[in-house]
Amino acid sequence: MPDTVRGADIVVRTLRLAGTDAVFALSGNHIMPIFDAAFGAPIRLVHARHEAATVYMADGWARMTGRCGVALVSSGAGHANAVGSLPTALAAEVPLLLLSGQAGLAEQGRGGFQELRQVEMAAPACKAGRMATDVRSLGHDIAALMRIALSGRPGPVHLSLPVDLLNATVPDTPELWPAAADFLPLPAPADARAVQGLRDALQAAHRPIVLSGPSFCRGAHADELARLALATGVPIVGMESPRGLNDPKLGAFAKVLPQADLVVLLGKPCDFTVGFLRPPAVHAEARILVIDPDAHLIERANRELAGRLAGAWLADPLVTIRAAFADMPTQDKAAWRAAVSEAIAFRPATWPGEDVRTDGLVHPADIARALQTYLEANPDAVLVCDGGEAPQWPQTLQTANRRIINGVAGSIGGATPFAIGARAATGANVIAVSGDGGFGFHVLELDTALRHDLPVTIVVANDAAWNAEHQIQLRTYGAERAHSCTLLPTRYDQVVEALGGYGAYVTDARDLLPAIERAVASGKPACINVRTRSLPAPVIR
């Protein structure tokens, strides 16, 4: 007789077959069988303090590894909390699997404990989702969803796990287990029409620009596109920020894009971040090509760009550009490429507000300068930037370091759990920048970092305000109508010290770099609380 396994054992062993070495979890009744199955298993359960943080941690882990991250939460309210972080992963094109406990199959429809329509709840923020219905197919359910998460445009997926399936036992037979190939992305053959169309358009253009989507801004894909751009002379610009063409990392790119006579959306949706590709964001007579793996985005492009679209193909972006650029002669566009590079590299000599100094308050540009110095001296370090105003300043940095930002969804509050996920993935030093509003979302995850020996350093730009919204009030309604966006100048460094971490309080820009160096050297989760001026995010003209 073969040995037997529980459904929970199948879940844990399948995750190991997928190459998962860390699962970011928050316990609850319906997933305790999985916690038990993980006992003694070669898989790390990073036990968080809030379900939303588990998804952000899995997101950060996935962005650093290129593999499918895994978050594990319980049912009902736990699942609902986790769903709130999925739009960030969806917009940033991050592959991750949200595993949620669920009321048992035998109780569903009868008012079971924490019974909820979880699949339907997660659906708008996922590529795919399902509820497991057979213990014998659990491993294959996980493999199939991971494949979907990694295929085409990457993104999050969801699987609800009824507790009676996790407790059920079945004979341990080979049919239970997916093969290694079952986890891999679906192969994407080249579309000959898309390849030829892209090649012909690029060769005919005088000033072409390729805009690539978020998943091409990190890891091996980003490196490959950089090599292709260098080999052919065609500028390829990655876009992953909710600020779009005003992404501080892109410098003055918004000024040069209207000069392009060909704009190629390579897996980059036509959306608000590119001004919907309408003048003045682009020239009215620029030709536009779209290569995308999602049919609904092809349809949207046809609708948005009616009469201006030179071609749109449902095809894998990376496979297409790889084939189109193969053996393509270097384009004689040196002046154009130099103009694009110079625009992206442009930074002003001084930033707005630097002509006035306020004692006891640091200009956020000084945070960026201190980080620039640290990151140049520590090339393996990872930079994480939250949403909001102050974290945009370090996004002006021009370093080769790995980075994570909040992404096109424009969320705030994820920096600390992103950093923990990145640390778990890389073991590298991770420096995150957050505003005081965003930091408050998940400050207790530094307790998670302490318990799991995942030291990260969070630089909190503390202006005692919800500054992004305060700036909207100032711009739109005037200072006399600005209200209800203030916070207390809380000593977050002391909060983190009380948790057992390292804290530093900075009111002078000269103390920033030494504080960062001491925080990292402490080997503890750290908070550098920097009293900053309330200034808008940088806009480079």
Per-residue confidence (pLDDT) for residue 172, from 0 to 100 = 96
Confidence of residue 360 (pLDDT cuts 50, 70, 90): very high
Q: 71 with 30: CB under 8 angstroms?
A: no
Mean pLDDT, rounded, of the chain: 95
**φ and ψ at residue 287, rounded to 5 degrees:** -80, 145
Confidence of residue 331 (pLDDT cuts 50, 70, 90): low
Confidence of residue 471 (pLDDT cuts 50, 70, 90): very high
Per-residue confidence (pLDDT) for residue 220, from 0 to 100 = 93
pTM of the entire predicted model: 0.96
Distance CA 83, CA 87 (A): 8
- Burial (Cβ within 10 Å: 0-12, 13-18, ≥19) of residue 125: buried
Q: 522 with 502: CB under 8 angstroms?
A: yes
Per-residue confidence (pLDDT) for residue 30, from 0 to 100 = 96
Q: 148 with 126: CB under 8 angstroms?
A: no
Determine which of 108-112, 397-401, 514-518, 533-537 has the lowest per-residue pLDDT on average: 108-112
Per-residue confidence (pLDDT) for residue 1, from 0 to 100 = 45
Can you spell out the DSSP letters for 385-447? E-SSSGGGGGGG----SEEEE--TT---S-HHHHHHHHHHHH-S-EEEEEEHHHHTTSTTHHH
Q: How crowded is residue 75: how many other Cβ atoms within 10 Å of its Cβ?
A: 25
Q: 87 with 147: CB under 8 angstroms?
A: no
Confidence of residue 472 (pLDDT cuts 50, 70, 90): very high
Q: pLDDT tens digits, residue range 190-221?
A: 899 999 999 999 999 999 999 999 999 999 99
Mean pLDDT calculated for residue range 80-88: 98
Contacts 24+ apart (CB under 8 A), 468-471: 468/387, 468/388, 468/389, 468/412, 468/435, 468/537, 470/534, 471/389, 471/534, 471/536, 471/537
Distance CA 316, CA 314 (A): 7
Q: pLDDT tens digits, residue range 4-50?
A: 999 999 999 999 999 999 999 999 999 999 999 999 989 999 999 99
Q: 51 with 61: CB under 8 angstroms?
A: no
Q: How far is CA 310 from CA 216, 270, 283, 377, 391, in A?
A: 23, 14, 14, 46, 38
Q: Is the peptide bond before 280 cis (omega within 30 degrees of 0)?
A: yes
**pLDDT of 2 over the 80 cut:** no
Q: How far is CA 356 from CA 351, 352, 364, in A?
A: 11, 9, 13
Q: pLDDT tens digits, residue range 371-388?
A: 999 999 999 999 999 999
Q: pLDDT tens digits, residue range 498-530?
A: 999 999 999 999 999 999 999 999 999 999 999
Domains of the chain (ranges, CATH numbers): 4-183 (3.40.50.970), 192-345 (3.40.50.1220), 364-531 (3.40.50.970)
Distance CA 251, CA 338 (A): 14
Per-residue confidence (pLDDT) for residue 330, from 0 to 100 = 72
Distance CA 158, CA 146 (A): 9
Q: pLDDT tens digits, residue range 280-330?
A: 999 999 999 999 999 999 999 999 998 889 999 999 999 999 999 987 777
**Strand 4-6 relative to strand 169-171: parallel, antiparallel, unpaired?**
antiparallel
Crossing angle of helices 192-204 and 317-325, rounded to 10°: 60
- Burial (Cβ within 10 Å: 0-12, 13-18, ≥19) of residue 49: middle
Q: pLDDT tens digits, residue range 164-193?
A: 999 999 999 999 999 999 999 998 888 999
